[in-house]
Structure 1
Amino acid sequence: MRNSTCLQPSLATTVALPVIYSFLCPAGSFGNILAAWIFLRQAPTKRTQYIYLVNLVTANLLICSTMPFLAAYFAGGYQWTYESVACKIANHVGTTVMHVSMYVTIIILCSIALSQYATLKKNSDTQYSQAVNDSFYRCVLEKFRQPKFAKYFCIIIWLAVLCITVTAITFNVQPSHMAEFHRCYNIMVEAGEFNVRIASSIATACFFLSFMTVLLSYYSLTRHLSKIQKNTCIAEKHLIYRTVKRNILVIQMILTVCFLPYHIFRPIFYALLTNSDCSRLSYLVEIKNFLTCLAATKSSLDPVIFLLLDKTFKKSLYGLFTKSTPEQHKRYADIVTEQFPETQRHMERF
């Protein structure tokens, strides 16, 4: 297992993964830069959802920026020496930055779901009294829909990411037990040392916490709407409720399709590393890398999701390719203000 030539990448690793990352990088970068431009030009800066989305796009761009390093690593990493500059950049810049940015997107997706759920529940709860033991729960939810909290929360996330990234790179500069490895593509780089595995376990727990939070939010929202439908007519607000349910469901599907397979497999991967069969280890590493690629794909798909789910984003994108006068811009803003009160406009954003 500890032989530097133990891992032998197949064509799936040396050809398929570089091609996939090479395609995802320009597509994701273009889409997210366009989304960031639209948000900065069109979206009001005081909206909570806008704050979360700007940070989500930033994390997506960071992930896209690491894809060229990952493509180069999978294409030729098995030929690089471990001490080479290319190997260190691929490991430190590519792998580390991509993983920490990935967990930023997971936390922000969870925050978006909580923000939408909290806003809808607050406005539909005005007619009903709540139990005293729900006060803390409602207070926490209320925080996620406040722009000030969203700003500070995102700042804390990025500060934590910076600390984690610097710490991880510092500890990996002079890793122990690496003298016997000569190639960059080896089991210790792919699996990490003990401190990396501990961090991975904490990150996996963080994912499942976010996953269950979004799942419970959707379940609670469904039950809540079913309850109020029995007591009052909500036909005029049905479109808002349906939109919020759909958006939370989409977030749940993103977490399930893109991130859940990787986080289910990671504990299995570490549990099976004790096996000394090099062929099996090679397959395990390749499965892990393809599931990581699946998780990274989400960053390139976000602009498409914005386009499909966000009416404001769709109209703003359309406006970039059509000429409009300042009077038309003002008329459009007046129409939005009239037709969508603050609560509804808050819901419209994904």
Structure 2
Amino acid sequence: MRNSTCPLQPSLATSVALPVIYALLFPAGSFGNILAAWIFSKQAPTKRTQYIYLGNLVTANLLICSTMPFLAAYFARGYQWNYDSVMCRIANHLGTLIMHVSMYVTIIILCSTALSQYATLKKNSDTQYSQAVNENFYRCVLEKFRQPKFAKYLCIIIWLTVLCITVIAIAYNVQEKDMEEHRQCYNIRVEAGEFTTRIAASVATACFFLSFMTVLLSYYSLNKHLSKIQKNTCLGEKHLIYSTVKRNILVIQMILTICFLPYHIFRPIFYVLLTNNDCPRLSYLVEVKNFLTCLAAAKSSVDPIIILLLDKTFKKSLYGLFTKSTPEHHKRNAVIFTEETSKM
């Protein structure tokens, strides 16, 4: 790497602000996602498609939260660690591996969830309007995303694929010989990666934009579909599912836009500008990248809040934890959860 010897100079934003942010996100995200996992495990039918996607999202969120203490320590003391130290290798290899695997699993599952929601709308549409979508092949593919067995295998494939790509990239970097005997852990090679890491990053970026455009097109197609229905009929109470589906896809689109889009727009720019040997400028670029990564990681901590605000069943289950209830009340809540998730 041409500028691998360029010493990075972390500012207070990196050595103080980032550790504080990760230190605050860690307990909030861990508690919220553990609580969400417990509520879903107690209330949700394990064979519901929506629960399969939510369960994998919560798992990915918990894995991201588990890396936050390592990331906080790395940004606070990484510039003092030796590159060959145990702490440096744990923070860079294990922390980076878990962070990026979980991040892209989250992105792809969010896209799959949006497709599942969109397929739900098509499933509940009247026959005369569903026939307007004459692409039978695409309808069959969409229907797959609603099937629990397909959702389970899809999530397994997503985890294995993302894990393999990330492990291969990191393994090649570990095998490459370092010509410098003494170097700080916080350096440009760690932050930018070598050739294999950049190839994996390019694949990951392309995967993100594919997922982003898929959700965007689903939302656009949904609006177009609802407009066509409204011109021919009045949406009654049985069509309230439409507004729910529209809201859920919009929330997914907002998450992808706010949390992940800035990072993936900046990353190609970051790699292009690395050819410059201006060390202060490189330090600034690395800090921008790390803050955008932190923004993406913050999504895992706010997920339980989003579920609480949008999911009435989750809110009722959470309320039930702090109130006394009878076995009949628990049974009634389980029935309500089953009915509502069958619509999702």
Superposition TM-score, scaled by structure 2 size: 0.95
- 1:7 counterpart SS class: coil
Indicate the SS of the match to 1:183. Answer: coil
3-state SS in 2 of match to 1:313: helix
Segments of 4+ moved more than 4 angstroms: none
Give matches, 1:186-265, under 5 Å. 186-265=187-266
Partner Cα distance (1:290, 1:265) in 2 = 11
Q: Who is 1:75 aligned against?
A: 76
Distance 2:294 2:130 in 1: 47
Mapping 1:304-323, distance limit 5 Å: 304-323=305-324
Residue 91 of structure 2 is aligned to residue 61 of structure 1: no
In structure 1, the partner of 2:34 is 33
* Partner residue in 2 for 1:120: 121
Distance 1:13 1:332, change over 3 A: closer
Check whether the contact 1:4–1:181 (CA below 8 A) recurs between aligned residues: no
Closer, same or farther in 2 for the Cα pair 1:59/1:268, shift >3 Å?
same
- The superposition leaves residues 67-111 of structure 1 with CA deviations (integer Å, 9 ceiling, x where unpaired) of 111111000111111110111001111112101110000001111
Identify if the C-alpha distance between structure 1 residues 144 and 129 changes in structure 2 by more than 3 Å, giving closer, same or farther. closer
Deviation of 1:132 after TM superposition, in Å, equals 8.4
Instruction: Work out the CA distance in 2 between the residues paired with 1:132 and 1:22.
Output: 49
Paired residue for 2:184? 183
1:39-69 CA-partner distances (Å, limit 9, x unpaired): 1011011111100000000000000001111
SS state at 1:66 partner: helix
How far apart are 1:136 and its partner, in Å?
1.0
- Offset, 1:231: 1.7
Structure 2 CA distance for partners of 1:131 and 1:322, relative to 1, 3 Å: closer
**Count of matched residue pairs:** 343
Any unmatched runs of 5+ in structure 1? none
Task: Give distance in 1, aligned partners of 2:179 and 2:106.
Answer: 32
Identity %: 81
Does residue 346 of the first structure (1) align with residue 338 of the second (2)?
Answer: no
- Tell me which residue corresponds to 1:299: 300
Letter in 1 for 2:269: I
| Equivalent position amino acid for 1:232 in 2 | T
Cα deviation digits, residues 29-48 of structure 1 (max 9, x gap): 01000000001011011111
**In 2 relative to 1, CA 90–84 (structure 1 residues): closer, same or farther, beyond 3 Å?**
same
Distance 2:263 2:160 in 1: 25
| Map of 2:139 onto structure 1 | 138
8 Å CA contact 1:96, 1:168 repeated in 2: no
**Partner residue, 1:158:** 159
Q: Residues 229-267 of structure 1: CA distance to partner in whole angstroms, max 9, x if unpaired?
A: 112222223432111111110110000000000000001
Match in the other structure for 2:90: 89
TM-score calculated relative to the size of structure 1:
0.93
Give 1:163 deviation, angstroms. Answer: 2.0
Q: 8 Å contact 1:116–1:347 — kept in the other structure? A: no
**Does the Cα contact within 8 Å between 2:122 and 2:130 map onto a contact in 1?**
no
RMSD: 1.8
